[in-house]
Structure 1
Amino acid sequence: MGSFPSWVSNELQLNLVGNNFTLDNSNTSLLPSGLNCLQRNFPCTTGNGIYYNFSVKCGGPQITSSSNIVYERDNISLGPATYYVTNSERWAVSNVGYFIGSNNAAYSASSLSQFTNTLDSELFQTARVSASSLRYYGLGLENGNYNVTLQFAEIQIQNTEWKRLGRRLFDIYIQVGPCFTRLLVLLRKVMVNCQCHLCLFQGNLVVKDFDIRKEADGASFTAVPKMYQARVTANYLEIHFFWAGKGTCCVPNQATYGPLISAISAVPDFIPTVSNKSPTPTRKKDHTGLIVGVATGVGVVGLVAVLLVFYVVQRRRMARMIEDQEFLGMDARPYTFSYAELKAATDDFNPNNKLGEGGFGPVFKGTLNDGRVIAVKQLSVTSHQGKNQFMTEIATISAVQHRNLVKLYGCCIDVDNRLLVYEYLENKSLDQAMFGQRTLNLDWATRFDICLGIARGLAYLHEESRLRIVHRDVKASNILLDSDLTPKISDFGLAKLYDDKKTHISTRVAGTIGYLAPEYAMRGHLTEKADVFAFGVVALEVISGRSNSDPSLEEEKIYLLEWAWNLHETNRVVELVDSRLSEFDEEEAKRMVAIALLCTQTSPAPRPPMSRVVAMLSGDIEVATVSTRPGYLTDWRFNDTTSSLAETADKSTDKSTYNSSFTASTVGTANFSPEIATTPMLGEMIGDGR
């Protein structure tokens, strides 16, 4: 109680909710506004009440539900001891608790399609999560009985493999009852040394050890609505979520615990008598009195116009600030499209124009006003790749130009809308051409040219461009084909840049299992030779017309690399060539297989640089002899479990539309065995989140 101490400042993380401070203009400026509304007697809300309901989208943007309930946005960053009061003083949120290793009190889910038991999937894409104590306050409410609906969905602990072992338990309290309030008044003066004072201020315990996944019958990504009744007697409603130290702390990731809530709404169980209209905020009373004193009908219209102009200017200024921050330090800045321009080009992102979807987000076909046909890659709000890889892709592809690299026309950064604009390639990706419906005629000459084009594109990235670039995710689905079937390497979201003085980078593993070089998968040791290894796998796929793993085949042919080595050791490599080809150049085929086997050696040292691969493919130099089977094949262990996993993945993975990229940081450190690093079905399972 009393005035703020002299050491209080805006730089400190202080949560002073629920005290009895004396607040005036001299000290309220030291802290975020609204604190006076959250003191013990809630001074902003006393009286007859202003509102008769409130709804909050916890941890996310404003959303209108299928039942036309408008959930106000709650995406303010909350630290370990912070609070926030809306300008309308209609509701507030208070957070206390520190996550070890993370301070972000919000969490995002991964896909709108995952919530099948609700019409409002978007409502559950984000949630507010706290390390200890999270309180929401409905302020200025008309007194009476209210129906409080709490919306939950477990979006951190997944129902897959070991991740299902996580348990989130927390308590839910709603409103202090009238009798309990009187008890507090009596005890407040004698509570100085009471050991139970924390529980006295919790409120009415409505659920103890609440478990969202248990309420959803063990399923994750399932909406769980809970409804409770509360009585408002002093014009405010308090909802408290409290972690009591139960459950798990670190499964599936560090700091996966504490209360989690997706949305809150409170509606009256009586006929309201108030207008429910927001007055001018208390903290602006002085300005309001001046305006009201001089305003006339014309003045009001003028004020609205000024506010509208101010809002537009501020929004544009904010967008420009974000854009400047994102582009800071970028040498080659691409052309910037407006969001309205791309929205018109794609017919408002019409689903009929959708070309596919990967880990980054959906891709749409569009036509610009100048007639250019484009492919627009839209960063999903729930994307696992996120802003860092969005900017990596812009920086990388803007700095390089080559016939065998996809061309970036520009980008769009408009507040929350982030899009990349590429040239449209009619024949889509190489994996669709080879493993899909096979509507294209990929004869031997075409396949040879495709491999040569990929090799030239990688040689340019590694040795010829002014930047030293490792793609890190070379695979058939990231090779696009234009109208002439010229290959173009795409998707630079995982690319790494480093200077020529470094021999390698030690980094977290990112890419697609089945194309990962052993030294990279096991130790995070990254050089251009990681791309060389992936090229060797892609080359074998192009030669054979099949993916690097196919559990539907007989056992000796399931894994393409192993089968290729079996044929090589028995001088039968010609059998590897796609049986659908009516004719092919046998000598070229043998040379390509030998190059692919050389590229996929266990150690990076014997793998040739891509410039040498180009020379060997072109016949300018001889192909070095390979005789030793790689260690990751020698040590391979097959068993029924591995087979069943591969079969499961094959039945449930749609390779034509899903990009199975993953980042090893999501599954722990990169201590994989070599056989796992070259087993693509397991990689697709991890990429799918299964």
Structure 2
Amino acid sequence: MIPKEWATMKLEYLSLMANQLSGQIPKFLGNITTLTYLSIESNSFSGTIPAELGKLVNLKNLLLNDNNLAGQLPIELNKLVNLIELRISSNNFSGQIPNFFHHWKQLEKLQIQGSGFEGPIPTSISLLTNLIELRISDLNGEGSEFPSLENLTSLMRLMLRSCKLSGPIPPYISAMSRLKILDLSFNKLNGSIPNELQYLNKLQNMYLTSNMLSGPVPNWITNKADSSHIDLSYNNFDEHSAPSSCNKETLNLYRSFSRGESLKSSVCLKSFNCKEARYSMHINCGGKETTIADSTYEEDDERGGAAKFVPRRADWGFSSSGEFWFSQVPGNYIAKGNPMLRLPDSNLYTRARLSATSLTYYGSCLGKGNYSVTLHFCEIVFSNNSYSSLGRRMFDIYIQDKLVHKNFDIVKEANGTSKVVKKVYQHIPVSDSVEIRFYYAGKGSTGIPLRGTYGPLISAISVKSVLAGLDLQTGLFTFKQIKAATNNFSADSKIGEGGFGSVYLGILLDGAHIAVKQLSSRSKQGNQEFVNEIGMISGLRHPNLVRLYGCCVEGNQLFLIYEYMENNNLARALFGRSHLKLNWPTRQKICIDVARGLTYLHEESIIKIVHRDIKATNILLDGDLNAKISDFGLAKLDEGEHTHISTRVAGTIGYMAPEYALWGYLTYKADVYSFGVLALEIVAGRNNTNFRPDDNYFCLLDWGFALQQQNGNLMELVDPMLGTDYNKEEVLKMIKIALLCTNPSPAVRPVMSEVLSMLEGKMLVKELTLAPSGCNSDWFYEASKGYHDMTSDSETHSLIRSPDARNGCSSTCHAKPPVIEGDQT
């Protein structure tokens, strides 16, 4: 809150920079007529600029940049005839740039970047002959020809970037003899580079990237011996003028010549021979080589620069353009964070690549198809201290020249600094190359914590081929394909055993990884459930469901082809000898992922499905430890009110709900029960059926309910492997949710959308309730213990329903457990 009393004071200098101020600019500031300097930059002021500021006739510096100001500049500002500096960048103004700037005859610095204004650039600016710095960028609206600025011979820094300018570069620029920086990039300028520009003896940086310039590249540029930076990338120059090497320290000629459209036909890449197609690319931007899961992220620690093309290998590289104006950290194109940063896969996030304007990563020699692009971000320049945390880094993201994210803000997306956020873009079409560009469009802060802190930042890039667009019509694989992909179903390719039989890793001819599930000849599930699985899940699309790509039918042999999940299943990670060490945040996320997948199956998909076999081996983990539900072979289509099934009971001992296991009564609450068991296993790191703390308990869940009923310490259930590195409140909440989900009465259990809301903190956890008096949990556990003893030394079994199952828990509550018959996998 700005005190109104200030209006009566004779202030000369007032800076309110980065004070988290919001609302409209107070009109009473216009009464402090003694002011010569006023800065309200890097706040959240909104609304229009009050006309009252026009009364500040002694003002020399007016800094309004990095706010949310809207509307147009009030005409009253033309009275500020003593202005030397005006900054109005990074706002949301509308309409054209005002045409009254010519009143500010003393103006030396004018900055209008990412302001929201439309072009054209008013000709009245040419009357500001004292200008030494003119920065205009990222204008909206229609295009225009190059403005008449021939009178601005005092200019030292000229930026007209992304202003939708067309026509040739005017030769009169050569008369600006004091010019040090010239940035005309990202326009539609055509024609050749005027030879007169070679006489700009003080020129240090020239950016002409992303235009339509043609003709030869002048010799005075290719043969230059000084240290000036020149970026001519993305133009249409004559091929014959290309130098022998495009890899020069201060000259960027990436894709600057007219031959061909594709990267591999670009002159700058002509030495890159693609011996064979590849189907993935992983880059640790700014860092050393590191392996995460099964993916090796390649080293990318080249220093970078203001105008640099860096072919890192024969099939990928980057192009960087732009310098950090008035930077207090010059030459800083790689950010270095805290090496002690405690993050999953921290090797990807302790360093990052920076750019002042535009940073483009390219990959060539890629096989034709659709790809998934994952961009990894972590803000390691800003910190959480009170001042540095006020910085705002914003930039645009383009993939294959298409804008996929405008004004991307890492801190906002990740909900804080030093926190990881991954953006995944699916179904990116690739013919032979991919380009990913990060572009600074003038938005955000530029001086927090130090001047020159802005522009794109990227931690890592992953590009992987995906089998997209497959359905039952197009997702048919031949047996020959499957046999070749799995190396004739070799033992080395086998990665697991599922309900259908063996599961193999397959690699197709195009390099794509798949998982092949083979229907076992001894499986009792048979063709009918195989067909059911295909019919139900081929059309399902959800981030937490394993994707089915297609199938193969060869005589009596049946196969399902799934997306390959690099980290296998959750059971191996929790109970096996996996190299994975699941910390608490990862376990919590896995639990939420599964809840989201089940919520989709139960309530959101067109086909409502009861999975019937939720368990740790049916939860698969991808390379980033995202959890996905697999194995829908036991799934049951929603039958409306007919919830009592007539087919055999199918599931896994230790996960089946009592009403389903003992009486065959199936509803969505059966999956809720199984989820509760799974959630308890995730907390405890122990398998429900294989863990018995002592002779008083026959399984993990039995122990949990005993602690609940006896008001014991539920934290005894926590996995010792977690040590003390977890949030006790979060763990206790998950235990309570697990016990609520496994209540013997299905009526007491919540639905999965409620479970998800409780896990995400959007709903309070319901009070734990014991079973209803007619169906008490003591009976249930006694019956279950007897059942457990009968099955502990045998194969898994199917349970035959009681004929009185529709009566639920009535007279049958005190009956003996049902007879056990058959074989159930």
Interval containing the TM-score (normalised by the shorter chain): 0.3 to 0.5
Which structure has greater strand proportion? 2
Which structure has greater helix proportion? 1
* TM-score, with length taken from structure 1: 0.46
Whose Rg is larger?
2
User: Which of structures 1 and 2 has the larger relative contact order (alpha carbons within 8 angstroms, sep 6+)?
Assistant: 1
* TM-score, with length taken from structure 2: 0.39
